[in-house]
Amino acid sequence: MLYSTPTVNINSKKYDVIIPIGNRCITAMALKYLNLSQESFPFDYIPSNPKLILKYLNNPKDFYPIKNNVRNIDDIWFGHFNVTDKYEETILTFERRFQRLFSALENKKKILFVYTSECDIYNGYANKDNDTTNYDDLLKIKDFIINKYDYNYDNFTIMAIHTNKSYKNTDNMINYSIIVESKYISNNMSTHNQETWTKYRETVKSLMKEIFKL
């Protein structure tokens, strides 16, 4: 798995907060590994896609897992959380995380949202075949934030790492790409194994190190 040397670097110290927005655990993992994560937010360690994240920004209750079920109504997996004997505590945890996110937006803090695209490798949540849609939905997240929290609020950036796709940077959005060889790509999660995710996650960490000049 390869990536081009980033043409745009990001100074993490310019941001008040850095928030992962999927689409798998590696986003939060890499930020923590690079000591860029100081607080927890709703989409840490949760597989998803930008369309669903936009839905949950509009209605957080749709995000919450079903009691005694490791998934929510959209089949999103919550395997890293206790949804049985500590269900109520888990819901309170997510409520606090959403409040932390919304408070940062309402107070117009300088925010860096970070998206990576491991799910695209295995077509998890139909991400691989809908990569253009994923990009469009990231733009919709950008528009949602601006429209909801003030048309003059542009004090945030979405940093997106795509799989086998490249896009031009736009206002409030910087795009990067990882090239994943065809032998790792599948439509049915058949390449979802330790070799694949380890290679991808190490590549993400290396790319982020260059992006942030760490």
Helix or strand run (H / E) with residue 94:
helix 87-106
Burial class for 33, CB neighbours closer than 10 Å (0-12, 13-18, 19+): middle
pLDDT of residue 123: 82
Report CA torsion sign: 81, 83, 89, 93. Answer: positive
pLDDT of residue 149: 86
Q: In angstroms, rounded to a whole number, what is the distance separating the alpha carbons of residues 206 and 214?
A: 10
Within 8 A by CB and 6+ apart from 39, the residues are: 17, 100
Residues 93-130: tens digit of each pLDDT: 999 999 999 999 999 999 999 999 998 998 877 666 55
Quote the mean pLDDT of the chain.
92
pLDDT of residue 128: 60
pLDDT more than 70, % of the chain? 95
pTM above 0.85, yes or no: yes
Residues 141-156: tens digit of each pLDDT: 999 999 898 766 678 9
Q: How far is CA 159 from the centre of its chain?
A: 9
Q: Assign 132 a pLDDT band (cuts: 50, 70, 90).
A: low
Return the C-alpha torsion angle 43, 47, 52, 53, nearest 10: 20
| Cβ contact 62:36 at 8 Å | no
Tell me: pLDDT of 86 over 80. Answer: yes
